[in-house]
Chain A
């Protein structure tokens, strides 16, 4: 994994992006669970990133943390560019 596909800017080097946090995979759960607990999934990780060194868009990224493959990048909130 060396690049991310920004919906606005196209494929850009990873150093332009900032990882923010991983997300719970499902809805629900207590405040404690959503704040502290992480679902360790070796094949799928849902994350918030931001293109800080570019258009500063907030991104919803789905990745495989075992291979580094990027499965999907969409704008946060489901908007279209």
Chain B
């Protein structure tokens, strides 16, 4: 069942003409702040990408009654507005690449589904190989993807030179660039538009989005939760979904459950605007400086990120030397940007699971769910996570796509260790 969305103002070329005729006051706020009711059928905690997408799919695809999204701060203030906007599905493990491919297919038509331009830009994601020995590893990943029907191409040095013109891979370098794995359908999506688009669509479907309302506890009766305690009083709830990226460990503590999650910081930064230089997303793991991924925003700023800061933190204050590492990697890759200034730098809190893969499952109670542990890759997962999590919440059964993301996999030994580094979020 997919309900048509009753848009208060549907965006189209006609709406521009209609707005011009109607004069000022035609446009409405993207979502309306509704008053908090005493009871809901489903309460989603966290108005970020995953929470809003879950609420949207619950309202559009399922018949679950009244839905609220409770947000401690403001819509899109957390990681959905702090990431480097990259979407891709170039994973090795089948459980992961099928899931992220489902997400990428949803990204491709999200602007139409939400009637909101999220600016999906399939500009290609390029994973660079720095030696003949690292090419087979990329080839293996690419072959695994192609067997699953996902696009992947192995580029040799000439093909890489053609695809990323500014890179000049034949130039003598300390670490030579011998080739790359390319996923053409990967690229970027405007992250704020994703939060706003989902919030607008959910609001149009009757979801109450309540900002500045922190959840402080869960009230229980037997094996079920009866509602949530908030800073604005008790809210009765038939089902509760926690989509609180960056703070899920603390949610577990609130419920008396220790989770296989540790919270680390990840930084991102953007340079001053420059003329078009990087037309794709380039991922570079330098033996000297660690990871750097770099793309260019539509305004011209180079958006860069790297690896985790390296120790647990909730401060959202990035370490200077990690920023330096990322910038050094970027300059090593594109020496011509050496004089470009960094405009802004920020950090987000990442819920790192002990195998690097997410958790979408029940948590302690039969009617409490958790959508968490997205590590540093949550943004690209938003559309698939919202749809799958909504199905789990509405029907009580996890769809095949997320069956591997159950919480019990750590105890039963079925971990999905994509990076192959064991139960340590940072191992440099």
- The residues of A with any CB-CB pair to B shorter than 8 Å are 1-2, 13-15, 18-19, 21-22, 32-33, 35-42, 45, 47, 49, 63, 65-68
Docked CA distance A59–B260 (Å): 23
- CB nearest to B412 among chain A residues: A32
Asked if B253 contacts A36 (CB within 8 A), the reply is: no
Residues of A within 8 A of B249 (CB): 38, 40
User: Is B411 part of the binding interface, using a Cβ–Cβ cutoff of 8 Å?
Assistant: yes
Q: Evaluate contact between A36 and B354: CB separation under 8 angstroms.
A: yes
Are A36 and B410 interface neighbours, CB within 8 A? yes
Q: Are B321's CB and A37's CB within 8 A? A: no
Query: Can you offer 30 A-B residue contacts whose CB atoms are under 8 A?
Result: A1-B315, A1-B317, A2-B320, A15-B319, A19-B310, A19-B311, A19-B426, A22-B262, A32-B411, A35-B354, A35-B423, A36-B354, A36-B410, A37-B259, A37-B260, A38-B249, A38-B260, A38-B261, A39-B258, A40-B249, A40-B252, A40-B259, A40-B261, A47-B312, A63-B311, A65-B263, A67-B315, A68-B313, A68-B315, A68-B317
The distance from the CB of A80 to the nearest CB of chain B, in whole angstroms, is: 25
For A32, the closest partner residue in chain B by CB is: B411
Number of chain B residues whose Cβ lies closer than 8 Å to a Cβ of chain A: 27
The 4 A-B residue pairs with the shortest CB-CB distance, nearest first, are A40-B249, A19-B311, A15-B321, A37-B258
A38–B315 CB distance below 8 A: no
User: Do residues A22 and B312 form an inter-chain contact, with CB atoms below 8 A?
Assistant: yes
Checking A33, A40, A47 against B311 with a beta-carbon cut-off of 8 angstroms, the contacting residue is A47
- CA–CA, A18 and B410, complex, Å: 26
* Known contacts A36-B410, A47-B312, A65-B312; is-contact A18 B321 (Cβ 8 Å): no
For the complex, give the distance between the alpha carbons of A35 and B411 in Å.
10
Given contacts A14-B319, A21-B424, contact A38 B313 (CB under 8 A): no
Write the residues of chain B forming the contact surface with A, with a CB cutoff of 8 angstroms: 249-250, 252-253, 258-263, 310-315, 317, 319-321, 354, 410-411, 423-424, 426, 428
> Which of B258, B261, B313 is in CB contact (< 8 Å) with A33?
B258
Least CB separation from B349: chain A residue? A65
Contacts of A39 in B (CB 8 A): 253, 258
Q: Given contacts A36-B260, A37-B260, A39-B258, is CB(A66)–CB(B354) below 8 Å?
A: no
B314: chain A residues within 8 A (beta carbon): 42, 65-66
CB distance from A12 to the nearest CB of B (A): 12
Among residues of B, the one whose C-beta sits closest to the C-beta of A20 is B424
Q: 11 additional contacts, CB 8 Å, given A38-B260, A42-B250?
A: A1-B315, A15-B319, A18-B310, A33-B258, A36-B354, A37-B259, A38-B249, A41-B253, A47-B311, A66-B314, A68-B317
CB pair A65–B315 under 8 Å, yes or no, is: yes
With both beta carbons as reference points, the residue of chain A lying nearest to B254 in the complex is identified as A40
